[in-house]
Structure 1
């Protein structure tokens, strides 16, 4: 991570300070008011803190950071700020693969210590990303229109497949699948966090190291190749990291929309397109924003709880429309 680029930036420190504030807000929010002096004991406060709120917070932080940083990398890789993993079908492919595993092989998910479901989602994300890159790529670069059309087709196919799985699923599997597709941070267990951490740590450490290479790819593949970049190898590694991050998050939280679109775009507006800044700052802001969205999901309809994917979609949908309107006006 290119920390020397960030140290002198006051906005970086503002983002850094906003993270612990959102963490404290998340830990303090819930139907049970915590007695902070009692969280080290075996009482209700200790159980709520250690078994519910802390693992949920850690899941939220890692999921938000992964969704944002992979969204930023995808936008730079495809050279378009609309290339969110959800819009181009990566999340849908990962969700369909995980849904197949959940409904058809539900009794085997506990095998390998819970690694089977994230592995299935990862493979689905890899296959979808490679398909989009193959269909949208050409000698002239990536066709944005083709990329978005591929995303529409893949999302439609995944929706049809998931609809079929709902029809085949038993009552318990149907309820689990339906709630999971809305995006939820409820089912956060320490063993799930271990699985996600094994993915999050390498992705969050490796993707920022490709910042300068992504900057070269923004110039075009031919220009990047002339400047000494092994374009094919670089693209393969970045695609695998994107699919790994998205697949692991989808497997554990379901589909959380628009995080990979909104967060990198905000960072790009504030700090510019340099991926050495964009990627680490996107991870930081993504963790903060998903934490705040999780807090909103718990307070908007309290004592009930909204799926966090509904909250992010309610915010991200209008933002996406504003982006399209801005791009249209800029083109006039």
Structure 2
């Protein structure tokens, strides 16, 4: 992103690099253990009596195992997307929800439904990924023409663009009577996840590997275009590559699960507060905490009004909103 995007942004929104390069530490191992415990709780949480029914263990492998695996993969994907976006924009308030990326993914899903009567999951994923990429690039290009005076302007612009795209999607859905086709996208939920309907989420592992391989270059990109270029990094190409990875992860999640707000905002900010912004050493932390956060929210969504189930996006959105406000207040306090 060019220099004018970073002009006037508060110091506290810039990446901070601490000497925390070790990954396998006692706190990290403890975090993994906590996530494993949450995963086990998720496996045995639900209305259906796994141990008391004849086909209980069949249902366990048909629904519970895929759901828990989907939670872990989705949590890692959205948290990573937020981490990369915050790094390359040098703004801690940026993530797919606050840049309009997720709304563009929804528009892509709707477009696929308009063009194909009964689209396959691959087609829906393709539409969501393509529109996520287009929307994210439009967001970046829009920022090129805006002289920022505050780090708060960036997410405000993204939220405004997202609201416009969401309005367009709603209008087209009502006009062509396709609202019911994408209704599940608006309420992100894991209730429908079962074997045969989540396997594409495993592609997120490839995204994770690629981000880890290019972590050092992405970290240099977070220092700014001039610094990255002087160190031999092709800044524009790297931004396109990072945008492609973000769009790929967000598009898959949007097609399979739906809208999951603020996860990419909560987790990277928590990690950055304690570990700075070294992408390579933070990535495992972000993945693990992302997994734990969404699994915890999903367990709450399944138990708070049993035998009914709330959409996990409702719990996640509530938690994310509180954290978002807390971060805004912290930014203001540090900036003052």
Instruction: Give the TM-score, by structure 2 length.
Output: 0.88
Q: CA deviation at 1:291?
A: 1.0
**3-state SS of the aligned residue for 2:190?**
coil
Aligned mate of 2:315, from 306, 311, 318? 311
Question: Cα distance 1:326–1:141, how it changes in 2: closer, same or farther (>3 A)?
Answer: closer
Stretches of structure 1 that go unaligned for 5 or more consecutive residues are none
Deviations 1:65-115 (A, max 9, x none): 10001110110011111111110111111111112323x2453313xxx20
Give the whole-Å Cα distance in 1 for the aligned partners of 2:196 and 2:253.
14
Q: What's the counterpart of residue 238 of structure 1?
A: 242
Aligned mate of 2:160, from 153, 157, 160? 153
Q: Residue 63 of structure 2 contacts residue 195 of structure 2 at CA under 8 Å; is this kept in 1? A: no
Deviations 1:209-251 (A, max 9, x none): 2221222122211011111112122111111001100111011
Does residue 261 of the first structure (1) align with residue 265 of the second (2)?
Answer: yes
Does residue 18 of the first structure (1) align with residue 34 of the second (2)?
Answer: yes
What RMSD in Å do the two structures reach over aligned CA positions? 2.3
Does residue 323 of the first structure (1) align with residue 327 of the second (2)?
Answer: yes
Q: CA deviation at 1:177?
A: 2.5
Q: CA deviation at 1:34?
A: 2.4
Give the whole-Å Cα distance in 2 for the aligned partners of 1:317 and 1:143.
20
Q: What's the counterpart of residue 192 of structure 1?
A: 197
Summarize the alignment of residues 1-332 of structure 1 with structure 2, pairs less than 5 Å apart.
5-7=22-24, 9-35=25-51, 43-102=54-113, 104-105=114-115, 107-110=117-120, 114-137=121-144, 144=151, 147-168=154-175, 170=177, 174-197=179-202, 199-332=203-336
Bigger helix share: 1
The structure 1 segments of at least 4 consecutive aligned residues displaced by more than 4 Å after TM superposition are 138-146
Stretches of structure 2 that go unaligned for 5 or more consecutive residues are 1-19
Question: Cα distance 1:19–1:145, how it changes in 2: closer, same or farther (>3 A)?
Answer: closer
Q: Residue 112 of structure 2 contacts residue 127 of structure 2 at CA under 8 Å; is this kept in 1? A: yes
Give the whole-Å Cα distance in 2 for the aligned partners of 1:168 and 1:251.
22
**3-state SS of the aligned residue for 1:121?**
helix
How many positions carry a matched residue from both structures? 317
